[in-house]
C-alpha cells in the first residue's frame, strides 16, 4: 500500500506493537539519568516540540533531576498525511527567551531531520548558552538533513509509527505504546 493509501484506509483499532510501555519507560529513565549526569546541576530549559513530544517530554521531565523549566514550541511540517511537506511552520512560539540558557530540544521522532535542522538554526539566532537534541525515535534511513542527536531513545526502521504522543491524522496520540501503522 502506498503512504497515501495508508491514510485513506480504515484505521486499525490496535496498531501492532513495536515498543512496549515497559521498554519505553525503561529507556526514558536511562535518558533522564544520563541528562541529569551530563548537565551536573546546571539549570535546563526543556523545549517540548508540540504536539508529538508532549507525552515523551512529560515522562522525560520527571526522570531528570535538575533545576528544570519546561517550554512549549508548536511546529507543523505535515498535512494530514504521512509524508513531511519539508516546510516547517511555527504554530506557537516559546513564551520565554532562551538567551544564555542550556536548552534541550525534545522531539518525538527524527525522520528526514528537516524539522530539527530548522529549529536548531532558529534557536541559534536567540543566543542560548547551549542547544542539544533529545529524540525518542530516529529513522536514519530517511535522513535528508544531518542533525546531531545528543540523546536518543531508539533507532527504528522506516515504518510509520503512532502512539506515545505520535499521531496519524491527529489520532492515536493517546496509545500508551508505540505501534506500527499497517502497510506503512
Ligand atoms: P522530520 O522533519 O521529517 O524529521 O519529521 C519530524 C516530524 O515528523 C516528527 O516530529 C513527527 O511529528 C513527524 N513524523 C515523522 N515520522 C513519523 C512517524 O512515523 N509517525 C508519526 N509522526 C512522524
Ligand atoms: Mg513532531
CB atoms within 10 A of CB 71: 19
Contact call for residues 123 and 103 (beta carbons, < 8 A): yes
Residue of 111, 121, 150, 158 marked active site: 111
Which tens digit of pLDDT belongs to each residue from 30-79? 999 999 999 998 999 999 999 999 999 999 999 999 999 999 999 987 65
| Residue 166, beta-bridge partner list | 163
CA of 113 to the centre of ligand 1 (A): 9
DSSP code, position 53: T
pLDDT of residue 1: 46
Whether 111 is catalytic: yes
Angle of helix 54-63 versus helix 21-39 axis, rounded to 10: 50
Rounded to whole angstroms, the Cα distance separating 161 from 109 reads 9
Closest CA to 163 of 154, 172, 153: 172
Quickly tell me which residue has 548558552 as its cell. Answer: 129
Closest CA to 106 of 80, 68, 157: 68
CA of 51 to the centre of ligand 2 (A): 6
Which tens digit of pLDDT belongs to each residue from 133-158? 999 999 999 888 889 999 999 999 99
| Residue 91, beta-bridge partner list | none
Amino acid at each position: 500500500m502506498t503512504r497515501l493509501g495508508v491514510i485513506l484506509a480504515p484505521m486499525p483499532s490496535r496498531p501492532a506493537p513495536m515498543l512496549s510501555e515497559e521498554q519505553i519507560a525503561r529507556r526514558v529513565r536511562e535518558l533522564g539519568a544520563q541528562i541529569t549526569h551530563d548537565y551536573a546541576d546546571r539549570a535546563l530549559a526543556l523545549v517540548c516540540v508540540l504536539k508529538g513530544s508532549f507525552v515523551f517530554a512529560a515522562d522525560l521531565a520527571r526522570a531528570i533531576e535538575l533545576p528544570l523549566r519546561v517550554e512549549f514550541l508548536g511546529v507543523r511540517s505535515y498535512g494530514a498525511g504521512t509524508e513531511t511537506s519539508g516546510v516547517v511552520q511555527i504554530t506557537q512560539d516559546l513564551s520565554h527567551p532562551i538567551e544564555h540558557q542550556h536548552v534541550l530540544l525534545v522531539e518525538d521522532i527524527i525522520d528526514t531531520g528537516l524539522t530539527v535542522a530548522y529549529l536548531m538554526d532558529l534557536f541559534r539566532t536567540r543566543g542560548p548558552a547551549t542547544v542539544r537534541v533529545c529524540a525518542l525515535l530516529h529513522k536514519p534511513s530517511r535522513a535528508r538533513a544531518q542533525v546531531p542527536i545528543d540523546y536518543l531513545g531508539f533507532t527504528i526502521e522506516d515504518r510509520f509509527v503512532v502512539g506515545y504522543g505520535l499521531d496519524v491524522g491527529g489520532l492515536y496520540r493517546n496509545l500508551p505504546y508505540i505501534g506500527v501503522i499497517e502497510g506503512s
